[in-house]
Structure 1
Amino acid sequence: MDRVSLTDDLSFSRLVYGMWRLGDDADTSPAHVRAKIDACLDQGITTFDQADIYGGYEAEEILGTAMTPDLRGKMEIVTKCDIVAPAGRYSDARVKYYDTSRAHILASVDHSLRLMKIDHIDTLLIHRPDPMMDHFETGAALDEVVASGKVRTVGVSNFKRHDWTLLQSAMKTPLVTNQIEISVLHHVPFTNGDVAYLQEAGVPIMAWSPLAGGALFEASNAGLRDLLSKIGADHGVDDTAVAVAWLLAHPARIIPVMGTNNLDRIGRIGDAAKVGLDRQTWFEIYTAALGHEVP
């Protein structure tokens, strides 16, 4: 499995296993969670994506039930904070909101460490841009959790360029990634500047929902799926692997975050890395997704 460097001493596997659905599985036993992790590690997928809010603030703890020191040494763990929803430990919240205060960030880090039974987070992301963010307070808090050793690196999720530059302007620690929605169906980041500014800065991009949240399988996208299936047949993989390979082929070195609870599907996440797409094939897929040829 190829890897992408975020810093001199931290790299991610080119494909990441997303754990946002971990709590949705009928079986959340430590043994079953460990089986999912092992299925990833067997393919060279060593990076795992979490967030405090996943599973109604329960997914981190489900991961923690399976965590052991030897397993932790084989993983890079990403998690996120700042969304407060009326669920779990925030069930008394009157409204869903974002909290990028120092107190909330520090408390969230401590919760995540305790629940996942780890002593540090490899990368902490601010989950959503906060319109009430005091960038000086938030930036200092992120610097603080890195200086404490509880967090190795920090980044963001769903940020636009102006959100990124505002926060970074108040920080000593460099932001190392932005996790944004990108897929063959949600391809606007390739033309609206979202990818361009990160590519220019040499910042690795994490892509959430790389299969468009299941929309790829809707009848309205049958033509696109037929094309992906045809290309996949030439490579001995299925259509979903080709959809992810389409992201991998981009020179920005996008890191797709793949989430499924099905062990068989987990075992085939790495198929995307087996597919090489030339420029014309990439544009064939893009054209099918657009529904018309490029201008």
Structure 2
Amino acid sequence: MSPLHATQLAPEGPVFSPVAAGLWRLHDWNFSPAELSAWVEHAIQLGITTFDHADLYGGFRCEALFGQWLKANPGQREHIQLVSKCGIKPADASRGWQVKHYDSSRAHILASVDASLQNLGTDYLDLLLIHRPDPLLDPDEVAEAFASLKQSGKVLHFGVSNFSPSQFALLASRTALLTNQVEASLLHNAPLFDGTFDQCLQAGIRPMVWSPLAGGRLLQPAAQPALHAALQQMAAELAVTPATLALAWLLRHPARPIPISGSRRLAALDEAAAACRLQLDRQHWFALLAAAQGQAVA
């Protein structure tokens, strides 16, 4: 089977794979160096070359774990794309953070990027996202930080994560944003209707999607029995797994979202790649929407 075709995130933006590999739980996977290498190389062989990080994942340890692989395989850097996020400070007395809070200040953004680059073992990020909307975010200060990082070559492109359409529009009025990474799945389809995906279509950019399988709940009958049954039946008819079908449902949207697969299983990467080759027709798509919402469209 041929590798997936890469695609642009936005006009004049980076070229990403149509699905991304997520490293949120990398520390919990307890991979040996050989197991991590096998996982990363399996993703790359499938054409899944975009790897999604955040500074705080795994208690600020996941980027360094991935960096061990990259430092051992520096020749792979030109073949992959690295995404990271910053701005969340969890309660951590050792860092002087007494309460969980957000920090979108210029100083924190610059310091976080430097730490991510060191941990990942690279001299640039393909994409940096503000991880959560910060009520104290100063759009001019963030824009200045982004401009500084771009000028230095440390970050090539920028975006946000979990921003509402109005929050996105505010920051986008000061600096170019190439994506909004949001939660979306058949169990959380609000971005399809609250203006989030509409805004991406209007701007000509592609959203990224975290938890596209609702953290695995989508595949469990207890979460929503009718939807689970519909997924099982349709997946059998189409000769794919329910996970592949659920991902293909997201990929069918004209905003062309990029789902993030965050499982340690090699088979999960296979399922994500298979979703990119499954083109759902409208009736299949609306049948799953109806099952998710508990009623047919009005």
TM-score (norm 1): 0.94
Distance 2:211 2:94 in 1: 26
Q: Identify if the C-alpha distance between structure 1 residues 9 and 139 changes in structure 2 by more than 3 Å, giving closer, same or farther.
A: closer
Kindly provide the amino acid, as one letter, of the partner of residue 287 in structure 1.
Answer: A
Are the aligned partners of 1:232 and 1:238 in contact in 2 as well (CA < 8 Å)?
Answer: yes
The match for 1:2 among 2, 5, 16 is 5
Aligned ranges 1:41-60 → 2 under 5 Å = 41-60=44-63
The match for 2:184 among 182, 200, 213 is 182
RMSD: 1.5
Are the aligned partners of 1:31 and 1:66 in contact in 2 as well (CA < 8 Å)?
Answer: no
Paired position in structure 2 for 1:291: 294
Distance 1:262 1:134 in 2: 40
Equivalent position SS for 1:125? strand
Shift of 1:240: 0.8
Equivalent position SS for 1:48? strand
Equivalent position SS for 2:107? helix
Shift of 1:90: 5.9
Paired position in structure 2 for 1:84: 89
Distance 1:84 1:90 in 2: 12
**Percent of aligned positions that are identical:** 42
Distance 1:7 1:199 in 2: 12
Distance 1:13 1:131 in 2: 32
Q: Identify if the C-alpha distance between structure 1 residues 94 and 160 changes in structure 2 by more than 3 Å, giving closer, same or farther.
A: same
TM-score (norm 2): 0.93
Paired position in structure 1 for 2:149: 145
Equivalent position SS for 1:268? helix
Are the aligned partners of 2:200 and 2:206 in contact in 1 as well (CA < 8 Å)?
Answer: yes
Distance 2:270 2:256 in 1: 22
Distance 1:183 1:52 in 2: 24
Kindly provide the amino acid, as one letter, of the partner of residue 159 in structure 1.
Answer: F
The answer for unaligned runs of 5 or more in structure 2 is none
Distance 1:155 1:243 in 2: 25
Are the aligned partners of 2:11 and 2:204 in contact in 1 as well (CA < 8 Å)?
Answer: no
Distance 1:50 1:156 in 2: 13
Q: Does 1:259 align with 2:240?
A: no
Aligned ranges 1:112-131 → 2 under 5 Å = 112-131=116-135
Normalized per residue, the structure richer in strand is 1
Deviations 1:120-168 (A, max 9, x none): 0000000000001111111110111011100010100011122112212
Kindly provide the amino acid, as one letter, of the partner of residue 245 in structure 2.
Answer: V
Paired position in structure 2 for 1:40: 43
Shift of 1:9: 5.8
Distance 1:30 1:146 in 2: 32
Distance 1:256 1:69 in 2: 26
Q: Identify if the C-alpha distance between structure 1 residues 243 and 50 changes in structure 2 by more than 3 Å, giving closer, same or farther.
A: same
Shift of 1:61: 0.5
Aligned ranges 1:142-181 → 2 under 5 Å = 142-171=146-175, 174-181=176-183
Shift of 1:272: 1.1
Distance 1:65 1:276 in 2: 37
Deviations 1:182-207 (A, max 9, x none): 10110111111111111111111101
Are the aligned partners of 1:208 and 1:256 in contact in 2 as well (CA < 8 Å)?
Answer: yes
Equivalent position SS for 2:224? helix
Count of matched residue positions in the alignment of Structure 1 and Structure 2: 291
The answer for unaligned runs of 5 or more in structure 1 is none
Deviations 1:41-67 (A, max 9, x none): 111111010000110111000100111
Kindly provide the amino acid, as one letter, of the partner of residue 26 in structure 1.
Answer: N
Q: Identify if the C-alpha distance between structure 1 residues 12 and 90 changes in structure 2 by more than 3 Å, giving closer, same or farther.
A: farther
Distance 2:295 2:244 in 1: 23
Kindly provide the amino acid, as one letter, of the partner of residue 184 in structure 1.
Answer: L
Kindly provide the amino acid, as one letter, of the partner of residue 24 in structure 2.
Answer: W
Shift of 1:235: 2.9
Are the aligned partners of 1:245 and 1:277 in contact in 2 as well (CA < 8 Å)?
Answer: yes
Q: Identify if the C-alpha distance between structure 1 residues 287 and 65 changes in structure 2 by more than 3 Å, giving closer, same or farther.
A: same
Are the aligned partners of 2:180 and 2:207 in contact in 1 as well (CA < 8 Å)?
Answer: yes
